[in-house]
Homo-oligomer: A and B are copies of this chain.
Amino acid sequence: MPNSQSVIPNVLAERYASGAMKAIWSPEGRILIERDYWIAVMKGQRELGLKIPAKAIKDYEKVKGQVDLESIDRRERQLLHDVKSRIEEFNGLSGHEYIHLGMTSRDLTENVEQLQVLRALELIRLKAIAALKKLSERSVEYRDLMITGRTHNVPAQATTLGKRFAMAGQELLIGIDRLHDLVERYPARGLKGAVGTQLDQQTLFEGDAKKVAELEEKIVKHLGFGNVMTNVGQVYPRSLDLDTVTALEQLASAAVNMTTTVRLMAGQGLMTEGFLKGQVGSSAMPHKINCRSSERIHGFGTILKGYATMAAGLTGGQWNEGDVSCSVVRRIMLPDAFFAIDGLLETYITVLGNLGAYENAIAAENEVQLPFLATTTILMEAVKAGAGRETAHEAIKEHALAAGSEIREGRPSEAKLTERLAGDDRIPLDLKQLNKLLSQSDRFVGAAGKQVDTFKRQTAKWVKKFPASAKIKPGSLL
């Protein structure tokens, strides 16, 4: 067994996530945010009267871009304290000792991590709206393509392919609603000190609580949060992480449902998720067009359920004013959950762009199934023509079972469902009436088309509200 020399990469980040998401969670990116934050605190403290030389702040600013991860790592392996090692690194680079005054580690890390979460949530909101837009476009494209709707995976009633896509759209809209609610109310922990009482900053400012409040307000505004918590301990309540991760888990559902149906349709030869240039089928079966991307989306959904369990594992786990039993969990769960939903949406937008319906195959299925799909309509018409509902139901059931049985035995030409019904006294409709009914194919999809139109309008509102979503383009998939 060889010893691994190279760094083991974060697979979710390196194989699946976008550059923008990686930038939020990379070690370098985080350190740059941290240093900005320290500098902002120093500036605020100086403005409010602390004796911090302007030159010192300048010196910090000069070196803030010098990120040497190896040097920081060496310090941490000696100090066994991650924040301390980064303080000493930054102090060492600048030649001063003015950062982190009156701060505890969590005054730094809680806020920096919440900023990463907030920016990542905002990115996911844009990306979800981009997926919504693409889904809406495909839904409109197939607005009137009649398909054999299925419940329990067997033919049930007609619908349209556009409507089937719009169902996934409805679920995505609900997921975006929730995500948006969360982003809008997401509160920062703020500058609260070791046990949450703001004691250390108050001491720095000689008991002047107003100055501390002013300082916190400056910092929170600098970070870009709309809200700030009042009553925290060392840490913010971890159930807020559950709020975050389950919002991602919920968002995934719409994509997984949609692409599960793509996989089912592909199995019946009705659709492809697309076949990219250069891609090969499995090495043994070169002609196969597999729904690899749709299957991968299912996998991302499963992964998110795991991170949601980790988030749930943190709730209710705080002792007194807090501890670090959540620390290693959040180091993994937060970035990885965002990498997973990011990879899912990258893949989903790609699939939505590439998928295609085999319209002739769909038409062929409709031709076989339509008389069966129409039984509900026939039942309704029979009731309107005077039949008792349960009586007509029984008659149709008998004939449908008999006709279906012929098909399953390989004798479709013997099915003759329409003729069977016409010949039964319990159904007050003759063959001519029944055939006329079946020829009105637009009668069978109900409100499907209009429902698609509604979905289009709902989508347009979100796109208008977040125009930056139009710039989201998925990278090429691995």
* A151-184 with Cβ < 8 A to chain B: 151-159, 163-164, 166-167, 169-171, 174-175, 177-178, 181-182
Whether the Cβ atoms of B476 and A290 lie closer than 8 Å is no
Q: Is A149 an interface residue when CB atoms closer than 8 A count as contact?
A: yes
Q: Provide the bound-state CA to CA distance between A296 and B327, in Å.
A: 7
At the interface, yes or no: A389 with Cβ under 8 Å from chain B? yes
A408 closest partner in B (C-beta)? B358
Q: How far is the CA of A307 from the CA of B303 in the complex (A)?
A: 8
Residue in B closest to A450 when the chains form the complex, CB atoms: B209
Q: Which of A39-47, A261-269, A466-474 contacts B (4 or more CB under 8 A)?
A: A261-269
User: Within 8 Å of chain B (Cβ to Cβ): is A126?
Assistant: no
Q: From A271, which residue of chain B is reached at the shortest CB distance?
A: B408
Q: How far is the CB of A161 from chain B (nearest CB, A)?
A: 11
Selecting from A7-15, A54-62, A426-434, the interface stretch reads: A7-15
Given contacts A306-B306, A444-B199, contact A285 B77 (CB under 8 A): no
**Given A28-B6, A314-B302, do A285 and B375 touch, yes or no (CB 8 Å)?**
yes
Bound complex: CA A336 to CA B307 (Å):
12
Contact among B13, B178, B360 for A410, CB-based, below 8 A: B360
| Centre residue among A69, A152, A279 by max chain B CB count within 10 A | A152
Given A103-B283, A302-B313, 18 more A-B residue pairs with CB atoms under 8 Å apart are A9-B27, A151-B320, A151-B323, A153-B267, A156-B288, A159-B197, A164-B233, A174-B187, A175-B239, A181-B181, A199-B447, A203-B381, A206-B384, A231-B451, A256-B317, A260-B318, A289-B404, A305-B309
A444 — nearest CB in chain B belongs to which residue?
B199
Any chain B CB within 8 A of the CB of A84? yes
Number of interface residues of A (CB under 8 A): 214
From B5, B154, B324, B358, A288 is in contact (CB under 8 Å) with B154
Q: A282-B194, A283-B104 are in contact. Are A170 and B305 (CB under 8 A)?
A: no
Main secondary structure, interface of A, reads: helix
**What sequence of 0s and 1s flags, for each residue 264-300 of chain A, a beta carbon within 8 Å of any chain B beta carbon?**
1011110000001011111111111111100110111
29 contacts between A and B (CB under 8 A): A1-B20, A2-B28, A4-B19, A6-B69, A8-B9, A81-B280, A84-B280, A100-B283, A150-B319, A152-B290, A153-B323, A154-B291, A157-B199, A167-B237, A169-B231, A170-B230, A170-B231, A170-B232, A178-B182, A230-B451, A239-B254, A280-B397, A287-B397, A296-B325, A301-B316, A302-B310, A305-B309, A305-B312, A306-B333
Shortest A75–chain B CB gap in Å is 11
A388 near B238 with CB under 8 A, answer no
- Contact A26:B11 (CB < 8 A) given known A163-B196, A376-B285, A450-B209: no
Contacts of A301 in B (CB 8 A): 315-316
In the complex, the answer to whether A268 meets B269 with C-beta atoms within 8 Å is no
